[in-house]
A and B are shown apart, each in its own frame.
Chain A
């Protein structure tokens, strides 16, 4: 049986005044996959997510979520959606338990099921010992676990998570992703936006957004394999000087310094780039080791968006 895509968007466009926030974005997210939006701030990640869950009305384009047209049919599928806002949005002046109880009621989870679901969520997200604590006093990681507990309480078929880990420590982020994989294994489709490369790498598939445009899409490894650039590694004792001198070369797309190492992206069409870089550095009497390197997701991101261009 071929299942319908959880999200199908065609030519999605949205503007805020003159600013084009989302520009003809088309995407298809399959049921049960973890799909990532990777992009810098202002790339249109949040706006796209809001368009997909019907909180914003698209200027152009069509959206189908779980087989329903958005935003017209938004009310019909609210019960099957879970949307975690970028900014923490639970009630800080209510306790953990009260927040969960409120949401369970809003999602019409009745009777015994309500208390079992809440208890399960409290256990699963390790906040059982905090249930009487006011949410405003929780740590970043606890708040985020509570937010995930709250957004999954009604067992949604589709989760839309807008930068869920932007304010938590690495340990909490790892645990959070373990939870996401568990949810995906149970059949939940997850759309998650991030600006962390390591998180993006965990997604089944990834879309890179830049200035409202979808500039690359595919499984992370495929994106890395198909990178539209050559990555060159330059090891040197004088990375800052080397960077300055390489910046003069107009065929170099970007340079990033990583400690004593430079990551240089050049066009695939460049002829013998390693030799050319070496020659340029020697001309400035800079000792360096220049080799072709394996691309990382960050390189893919830089190649696709043109960010950090020297």
Chain B
């Protein structure tokens, strides 16, 4: 007879405890609300507006009309005009565009010559889903100023760069390394300070001459080494099992990993100065991980995401790491060619660490 009474006792106790654990209570409503809004923005399987550049050497009226029509197709969003093919390749290398459109000087003559391609479409093939979308360009029918539809096989020549076989593993494994590193690294440091507080070590520690920055940096350093070991395991496994080889240099690969590991460790440390206990620290870790997975370009093509989602995505270290690591692994680009992402990761590290140091007080009140 007393079983329902005891069940009720447990239930009401749990609810009270949950209600009093404010951050957890907020997360009850916060997590679903925040996540569904983010994912609603990010989940966009209908990829459009791939960033593109044009090298129009023809300059004829017809060629401009072609560019206009490509733009109007919404498959590509043409952001720049360049001189030649080399510049297009460079933009593809640095990840600034996904599609390059090359219109040769003898464009008009080629139209009439059925044996030759009139326009060359260069595609960043890192992401097989983007390749698929970009190939749709070749199905467009192009109407000349005469009003006559020009739809001919071989009008467009496509050339897929970087991942010509469209292998998903080539594309996924480098990004997965980021997700794994973020999960483990953030968690390591997120519980680092909370744990000392929970176990009662913190009061002893803050009464010693140790300085705030010494404590913070001391907490980060060991995990940098652990992070680099993890990265090595991931890439070695990727190479041995999934045949993912690194086009760029190993030095660049490790530099990118180091930058990212530092940034996410500092993020974890920041969480550790906010969370009151290890459970909250884990919740907050999850809270930063999920948007990273969805908005970084890991799950959906970054280019295909709406502006708002891209803007939030740029606020996440993983976005920049994925941009770097795909550049290095797939396109073999030198890391110094991607300074924006390097600076972003450095910025995250410095800002997170500074806030963590400032938030951490050597006192109990």
In order of increasing CB-CB distance, the 9 nearest A-B pairs are A89-B204, A78-B209, A83-B207, A87-B200, A85-B203, A106-B208, A79-B209, A55-B364, A89-B200
Q: Mark A102-113, 1 if CB is under 8 A from B, else 0.
A: 010011100000
With A78-B209, A92-B199, A106-B210: A85-B365 Cβ-Cβ less than 8 Å: no
Contacts of A87 in B (CB 8 A): 200, 203
Q: Mark A193-205, 1 if CB is under 8 A from B, else 0.
A: 0000000000000
Q: Mark B190-211, 1 if CB is under 8 A from A, else 0.
A: 0000000001111111111111
Cβ of B363 within 8 Å of any chain A Cβ, yes or no, is yes
Give residues 331-365 of B contacting A (CB, 8 Å): 362-365
Known: A56-B363, A57-B363, A107-B208. 4 other contacts (CB 8 A): A55-B362, A83-B204, A89-B204, A108-B209
A78/B208 in contact, CB under 8 A:
yes
Contacts of A55 in B (CB 8 A): 203, 206-207, 362-364
Give residues 183-228 of B contacting A (CB, 8 Å): 199-211
Contacts of B364 in A (CB 8 A): 50, 55-56
Cβ of A215 within 8 Å of any chain B Cβ, yes or no, is no
Q: How many Å lie between the Cα of A87 and that of B202 in the bound state?
A: 11
Cβ of A71 within 8 Å of any chain B Cβ, yes or no, is yes
With A88-B200, A89-B201: A81-B365 Cβ-Cβ less than 8 Å: no
Cβ of A32 within 8 Å of any chain B Cβ, yes or no, is no
Contacts of A74 in B (CB 8 A): 362
Q: How many Å lie between the Cα of A224 and that of B207 in the bound state?
A: 35
Once A and B bind, how many residue pairs between them come within 8 Å at the CB atom? 52
Smallest beta-carbon distance A135→chain B, Å: 11
Question: B207: nearest residue on chain A (CB-CB)?
Answer: A83
Q: How many Å lie between the Cα of A83 and that of B210 in the bound state?
A: 14
With A88-B200, A89-B200, A90-B201: A53-B365 Cβ-Cβ less than 8 Å: no
Question: A79: nearest residue on chain B (CB-CB)?
Answer: B209
Cβ of A75 within 8 Å of any chain B Cβ, yes or no, is yes
A81/B199 in contact, CB under 8 A:
no
With A55-B363, A57-B365: A81-B207 Cβ-Cβ less than 8 Å: yes
B201/A91 in contact, CB under 8 A:
yes
Most A C-beta atoms less than 10 A away, residue of B202, B203, B211: B203
Cβ of A36 within 8 Å of any chain B Cβ, yes or no, is no
Smallest beta-carbon distance B153→chain A, Å: 71
Cβ of A212 within 8 Å of any chain B Cβ, yes or no, is no
Cβ of A54 within 8 Å of any chain B Cβ, yes or no, is yes
Q: How many Å lie between the Cα of A50 and that of B201 in the bound state?
A: 15
Smallest beta-carbon distance A157→chain B, Å: 14
Q: How many Å lie between the Cα of A53 and that of B363 in the bound state?
A: 10
Q: Mark A96-138, 1 if CB is under 8 A from B, else 0.
A: 0000000100111000000000000000000000000000000
Contacts of B202 in A (CB 8 A): 89
Contacts of A85 in B (CB 8 A): 200, 203-204, 207
Contacts of B362 in A (CB 8 A): 55, 74-75
A-B contact pairs, 24 of them (CB 8 A): A50-B364, A53-B207, A55-B203, A55-B207, A55-B362, A55-B364, A56-B364, A56-B365, A75-B211, A75-B362, A78-B209, A81-B207, A83-B204, A83-B207, A85-B203, A85-B204, A87-B203, A88-B200, A89-B204, A90-B204, A91-B201, A106-B208, A106-B210, A108-B209
